[in-house]
Amino acid sequence: MNAVNAGGWKPTMGETGESAVPQTASGDYGLMLEEALIFELGAKDKCGVDFEAVDRAPASGLSKFLRKSAPDLPGLTEPEAVRHYTRLSRQNYAIDLGPFPLGSCTMKHNPRLNETVARLPGFADVHPMQPQTTVQGALEVIEQLADWLIALTGMASVAMSPKAGAHGELCGLLCIRAALDARGETRDVVLVPESAHGTNPATAAFAGFKVQSIPATPDGRVDVAALKEKLGPNVAGVMITNPNTCGLFESELKTIADAVHAAGGYVYCDGANFNAIVGKVRPGDLGVDAMHINLHKTFSTPHGGGGPGAGPVVLSAALAPFAPLPFVTRGADGGIHLVEEENRGEGHSQAFGRMVAFHGQMGMFTRALTYILSHGADGLRQVAEDAVLNANYVLRTCEDVLPAPFAKSGPCMHEALFSEAGLAEGFSTLDIAKGLIDEGFHPMTVYFPLVVKGAMLIEPTETESKAGLDRFIASLRSLAERAKAGDQSLHSAPHFAPRRRLDETQAARKPVLVWQG
């Protein structure tokens, strides 16, 4: 085991353990390595950092605030720490290991040049409150990325500071609130299709709106007639995902936008799926007023096991004046300026306020700009085409073994949607997903969108090769056949992962959220 394990912890094999496998004394099995917690491995007085000696007492003003003893935090020396985290890393699946076809999440390859660039001291080691004359390059990165996002979406402006997609949604809705306030109108309803990401209704509620749901048509698109019926003087706007979460392009978006605008509302587009149309379609041409762009989806910044993201919001001319501070502009002197609270009078007096402490996700901006410059206008178009081609390839090579509820609605965009209908009694989407783990793949998005029972949403992305896709398809087809034939071994999958199925009910019933010794 790694380091001193004071607690003597080792993994236990339950009674259902496979009897054919001999137990090892360590609990490890060759390269399948178990790892204890830092609280079991470390000690408060262990340290992986050396310090210069301090030869003075704390200032007297501080004496009444001093803590009585050092915090109860375990430490490890560098070799122990490197081993701990390296061993843990091996219990993760990742894009670097194979396809990660999570629908709507866009797990594409993360180019390493982006990582190198983000770590240049001129970007990584710059303070957000430095005098602006000393950060012109950083502000230029924001400006150049903003220019690209505006050009690619055909919109008037972009608010760069939101920290992630949901934060961008919030930014867009607050721009709508501010625009309505400026018109002296109180409209308190936002319409959200039932196929929307959960963040959409949550964001609308977070921004103080009431949410009304819009049904889908049998072909998987927004029910335009039902939407039009709901429009009225209390509707602030609609939130539409395009391409939508069924993987389909909302062909009627322009019609919807015209109707919403005629009724005095605004159109928010969830841009989570922009990667399907980047360089092929500009949302600004379809009547969109605000759309967030997940830089960690379309523009390849790494997801990092759950974040950070970045959610710039492109805005129409109607909403642009209300974008939050800070804001980057180029002055008459040729220099780039940051518009903050003190100088908002300089052309940005209607800003609705501030959403974050500083200027947004600079570390993501440098990565995204690097990615965009690498692809260029031609490469980004190819990105969308290949993403859509790969998804349609999966759709058409699997629809004979797994029902694809909207396969007759036309080509899919960047993701292919299947359902669990037709599996043997007692078999479900979960069995297919866990079976994929044993096949060496990350599962697809499951049970989303909610409009399809037992949904399986597969987004291969453009960075999968045909050979890689063919292997994935072969596995998926095999699993579908096994689930149809009632292969009981699927119920206990995964068999070959660091853990078998985990007891989520127990975790929620008696939450253990911190180590208790």
Partner 1 sequence: MRYLPLTPADRAEMLGTIGAASVDDLFADVPEEARLSGPIEGLPMHASEMAVERHMTKLAAKNLSAGSAPFFLGAGAYRHHVPASVDHLIQRGEFLTAYTPYQPEIAQGTLQVLFEFQTQVARLLGTDIANASMYDGSTACWEAILMAARVTRKGKAVLSGGLHPHYGEVVRTMAKFTGDEIHSLATGLTAEPDDAAVIGAIDEATSCVVVQYPDVLGRIPDLAAIAEAAHAKGALLVAVVTEPVALGLIEAPGTLGADIVVGEGQSLGVGLQFGGPYLGLLGCREKFVRQMPGRLCGQTVDAEGKRGFVLTLSTREQHIRREKATSNICTNSGLCALAFSIHLTLLGGEGLAQLAGVNHARAQAMVERLTRIPGVELLNHAYFNEATLILPRDARDVVRELAEREILGGVSLSRLFPAAEGLDKALLVTATETTSLEDIEAFATELEALLVGVPA
Site for partner 1, residues 373 to 402, rule: CB under 8 A: 373-379, 381-383, 385-386, 388-390, 392-393, 395-397
Q: Does 44 bind partner 1 (CB under 8 A)?
A: yes
Quick check: 309 and 294 in contact, CB under 8 A?
yes
Q: Does 145 bind partner 1 (CB under 8 A)?
A: no
Can you tell me the distance from the alpha carbon of 300 to that of 159, in angstroms, rounded to the nearest whole number?
A: 19
Q: Does 211 bind partner 1 (CB under 8 A)?
A: yes
- In whole angstroms, how close is the CB of 419 to partner 1 at the nearest point? 19
- In whole angstroms, how close is the CB of 321 to partner 1 at the nearest point? 16
Q: Give residues with Cβ within 8 angstroms of 239, minimum separation 6.
A: 169, 173, 190, 191, 192, 193, 196, 200, 203, 204, 268, 269, 270
**CA distances (Å), 114 to each of 109, 288, 405, in order?**
11, 30, 38
Cβ proximity to partner 1, 377 vs 474, nearer residue = 377
Per-residue binding string, partner 1, 81-100, x by CB under 8 A, is: xx-xxx-xxxxxxxxxx--x
What type of residue sits at position 301?
T
CA-nearest of 368, 200, 406, 380 to 290 is 200
Q: Rounded to an integer, what is the distance from CA 46 to the centroid of its chain? A: 36
Candidates 151, 182, 262, 317: give the one binding partner 1 (CB under 8 A): 151
Pull the structure tokens for residue 131: 């005098």
Per-residue binding string, partner 1, 492-511, x by CB under 8 A, is: x-x--xxxxxxxx-xxx--x
Please identify, among the stretches 262-270, 312-320, 463-471, 481-489, the one whose residues bind partner 1 according to the rule CB under 8 A: 463-471
Q: Does 28 bind partner 1 (CB under 8 A)?
A: no
Pull the structure tokens for residue 424: 């043997």
Q: Does 286 bind partner 1 (CB under 8 A)?
A: yes
Tell me the β-bridge partners of 371: none
Q: Does 204 bind partner 1 (CB under 8 A)?
A: yes
Q: Does 485 bind partner 1 (CB under 8 A)?
A: no
Cβ proximity to partner 1, 102 vs 417, nearer residue = 102
Can you tell me the distance from the alpha carbon of 305 to that of 230, in angstroms, rounded to the nearest whole number?
A: 39
Characterise 512 by phi-psi region: left (phi > 0), alpha (psi -120 to 50), beta (else).
beta
Neighbours of 468 (CB within 10 A): 15
CA-nearest of 388, 421, 429 to 404 is 421
Q: Does 230 bind partner 1 (CB under 8 A)?
A: no
Can you tell me the distance from the alpha carbon of 256 to that of 251, in angstroms, rounded to the nearest whole number?
A: 10
**Span 119-138, contacts to partner 1 by CB under 8 A:** 119-131, 133-138
- In whole angstroms, how close is the CB of 503 to partner 1 at the nearest point? 5
Q: Does 4 bind partner 1 (CB under 8 A)?
A: no
Cβ proximity to partner 1, 477 vs 500, nearer residue = 500
How many residues at the interface with partner 1, by CB under 8 A? 211
